[in-house]
Structure 1
Amino acid sequence: MTLLLPLVNMLSRNTARNLFSYSKWKHVRCMQRCSFSESRQLCGVFEPDDLSSGTEIPEYESIHIRMKGYDFVILETFAKYVHKMGKAMEFETDSFAVPSTSCNVNTYKPNTSSVQNTYSLKLYERVVELQDVPSTKLPAFVDLLRMHTPEGIQVTVKEPTEEDDEYRYIPDREKETLEAQLEELGGPSKPKKK
């Protein structure tokens, strides 16, 4: 910089202004950019025609996430969370409730066989069904579930079976007895052909 100052002082102001102005050198910068982009286009990457677009990732057709718990509010909130996270990871999600099961729990007096208290507990269950799940995203989703599962909730992740589909519905005992009576009488009557 110290060498340039005497030189600039010797030159007239207009000459110095022209020598160091941006407009004087901008065409050189433009040429550098253009030549770089042209060389990139000319020397592009060679791709053969027979290459496929990528590897095909295997998918699970359907996955059931079954959640069980004795506290209805916590279970319902967690089921909503799982449903929302499935949508966020771009899975097709569907959720449904399974009928609750109840059981009686007895507590006994110490050192006797007489019942002290009887409790009736209901086990609630929710199922979130994920469809067309890529096998690369499922481990991340299961880890997310494992980290955020609240206390008292049991989570099972598996592929659905026919038993799971039947387990979903409440059996109609009255309808079953009427069908049994109809079979005893000879089955349903068939309409006469004309």
Structure 2
Amino acid sequence: MGTTFCMASFAFHLRVLDQAGLLFRASVSVQHLIQGSLVFSNERQYRTMPTHGIGKYKHLLPKEAPKKKKERQQMKQIKTATDAEYGTLNVKVSGYDMILVEHYSQYIHNLCNRLGVKVAESYALPTKSTEVMVMPEQGTKMYVDAILKTHERIVQLSQLNATLCPTFMEVLLKNQPEGIQLSVKPHTEADYQARFKARPELEGLMAQMT
């Protein structure tokens, strides 16, 4: 009886060991398959594929129109005076203090807006420099004592009413700061050319070419 029980238990253990061995071999084979698939998926196949255009997006944007070359500024037509209105007038403000010149020209522009006077343009002219020469009491050699810079602003008016002009000028003169010069004259082609800084060296080269 004891021998039969031992044989039965031994056979049972063998059966269990066989099943465990089958499970171990199956798990090892599955692990090999998984590892093989991972190795296969990690292969760098993209090295053989073209990469042109990756990261570029400009071809997706709409095409922009070519930029036009900046045309040279042309002189506007000078309006002539009539019986009821003046033509194109230049209100010129000049002085040595740039802040006063700038503020007074802004005041003129604002006054024109309040009175309904049309302002065609408002611009600055090139700054002019004047050297003040001094001669010492003993000696004949002069030296530069100071350099005065003249700042100029132009407020260009168009179609100023003749009946409004006296009142307009009276208000300007009453509010004119000290040290500021004011002049009003018709606009000419020479005034337009004065807006641009002279370049004698360039003009000389152009004269040689022609």
TM, length-normalised to structure 1: 0.60
Q: Where does 1:32-181 land on structure 2 (aligned, <5 Å)?
A: 58-93=84-119, 94-110=121-137, 113=140, 115=142, 118-181=145-208
Letter in 2 for 1:136: T
- Say if 1:102 and 1:123, in contact at 8 Å, map to a contact too: yes
CA distance in 2, matches of 1:177, 1:109: 38
Comparing 170-179 with 152-161, which one deviates more in the overlay? 170-179
Report the AA paired with residue 173 of structure 2.
Answer: R
Residues 57 and 136 of structure 1 are in contact (CA less than 8 Å); yes or no, is this contact kept in structure 2?
no
For the 8 Å contact 2:128–2:150, the answer to whether it is kept is yes
Deviation string 1:32-83 (CA, Å, 9 cap, x unpaired) is: xxxxxxxxxxxxxxxxxxxxxxxx9611121110111000011001010011
Corresponding position of 2:66: none
Output the CA distance in 2 between the equivalents of 1:141 and 1:147.
10
Task: Note if contact 1:64-1:130 (Cα within 8 Å) is conserved in structure 2.
Answer: yes
Q: Give the deviation of 1:125 after TM superposition.
A: 0.5
Greater Cα shift, 164-173 or 111-120:
111-120
Say whether the 8 Å CA contact 2:131–2:144 is kept in structure 1. Answer: no
1:171 aligned counterpart, secondary structure: coil
| Alpha-carbon contact 1:66-1:127 (below 8 Å) kept | yes
How far apart, in 1, do the equivalents of 2:83 and 2:131 lie?
48
Equivalent residues in 2 for 1:183-194, closer than 5 Å: 183=210
Matched pairs, number: 128
Give the distance between the partners of 1:115 and 1:176, measured in 2 at CA: 32
Q: Distance in 2 between matches of 1:116 and 1:180?
A: 35
Output the CA distance in 1 between the equivalents of 2:192 and 2:113.
22
TM normalised by structure 2 equals 0.56
Seen in structure 2, the aligned counterparts of structure 1 residues 63 and 177 have a Cα distance that, compared at 3 Å, is: same
The verdict on how the C-alpha distance between 1:182 and 1:60 changes in structure 2, with shifts beyond 3 A counting, is: same
What is the CA-CA distance between 1:108 and the residue it aligns to? 3.7
Distance 1:172 1:107 in 2: 29
In structure 1, the gaps of 5 or more residues are: 1-55, 184-194
Quick check: which one's strand share is greater? 1
The answer for unaligned runs of 5 or more in structure 2 is 1-81
Aligned partners of 1:70 and 1:122 also within 8 Å? yes
Q: 1:8 matched to which residue of 2?
A: none
Task: Identify the range of structure 1 (157-166 vs 60-69) with the bigger mean alpha-carbon deviation.
Answer: 157-166
Q: In 2, distance between residues paired with 1:85 and 1:127? A: 14
Give the aligned residue type for 2:175.
Answer: H
Q: Which amino acid aligns with 2:157?
A: L
Counterpart secondary structure, 1:165: helix
Partner Cα distance (1:89, 1:159) in 2: 20
